[in-house]
Amino acid sequence: MNTFNVLLTADATEALTASGNSVSENLTEIMDTIDEIKDVSNLSDPNAQTALQKLLSELPAQVLKLGLNLGARVVIAIICYIVGSKLIGLARKIILKSLRKAGVEKGAQTFIDACVKFALYAVLILVVASQFGFDATSVVAILGSIGLTVGLALQGSFSNFAGGIIILVMKPFKVGDYIIEDSNKNEGIVTGIHMFYTFLRTYDNKVILVPNGTLCNNSLTNLTFMDERRVDFSVGISYDSDIKLAKETLSKIIKEEPHKLKDREPQIFVKSLGDDSVVIGANFWVKPADYFAASWYMNEKVKLTFDEVGISIPFRQLDVHFDKNEAVTQSE
């Protein structure tokens, strides 16, 4: 016996069987007449003939009544679904409009809208099912049994759902933030926080779906959480170059950088003395959205300006020397 049969209890089955309707009543009348014929062993018996005549005379009317009854319920169910869908759409628009006026964060709006949609359509399904004689209590009992079985099989999905709620309450990030998910190194701009997944858009316009449970249970880096971000830059110069001139040149380049925040003073310093270069370090502050543009500007501008003023940027190279006499000896 599988899990579904165990969870589908006798109470739920009896509740479904007990839900009466006109369609089942018509079928019951026909079956009762057939049972009367079965109870008589000889069709030549007057009672059997009477029951058979009753069946033949009432069958067309019962079938017609059954068809009309069923057809009317199907039409009513379709109308209920269409009207219900329109009302659900209207209700969602009203709720979203209210959330926007209340200043609710965009990710929370998307999440709440998805939950409301799911709940309202569940109610609509119960209303449509009731048109076919299913009692709401019966349907809820069966759905509860099935739901428990499905819930055990979809623990990960419910974990993602709970993760979405925690994200909306704790707000480690919001729609529009640039985040890096540390476990798998997925990164991008958050475009939506949904019931089970958070959508990230990369700079090359790809979309990454990250489970909410993963973002909730693992560390992540939010690059746009703060209003300012520091750009760290370093460049190596040769030991023969003038350190003071390099620092003055670098200071001038930073002052001309268009994204630099004017109220934050940059820092320029000798970062380290390497094996083949003196490393000059610098940092300055920009808005998070300007970080990459500022970094790219510095890379290009420093190389061009250092070349102009005669500051050498060393690079690794290999010099090979041949001993001519030794080469001749080995060839002999």
* Residue 60 token pair: 């067309």
CB 146 within 8 A of CB 16: no
Task: Show the domains of the chain with their CATH numbers.
Answer: 20-134 (no CATH), 158-222 (2.30.30.60), 229-309 (3.30.70.100)
**For 112-169, how does the pLDDT look when each residue is reduced to its tens digit (9 = 90+)?**
888 888 888 888 887 787 777 666 666 666 667 666 666 655 566 778 888 888 888 8
4 or 202, which is more confident? 202
- pLDDT of the residue at 115: 81
Confidence of residue 53 (pLDDT cuts 50, 70, 90): low
Rounded CA gap, 306 and 298, in Å? 12
Beta strands in the chain (DSSP E): 178-181, 186-193, 197-201, 207-211, 220-222, 229-237, 267-273, 278-286
Average pLDDT for the chain: 78
Rounded CA gap, 262 and 109, in Å? 36
- Asked if residue 16 has pLDDT above 60, the reply is no
Q: Which of 37-41, 127-131, 288-292 has the highest mean pLDDT?
A: 288-292
Rounded CA gap, 113 and 4, in Å? 31
Confidence of residue 25 (pLDDT cuts 50, 70, 90): low
- pLDDT of the residue at 207: 94
Confidence of residue 63 (pLDDT cuts 50, 70, 90): low
pTM exceeds 0.75, yes or no: no
230 or 130, which is more confident? 230
- Asked if residue 199 has pLDDT above 60, the reply is yes
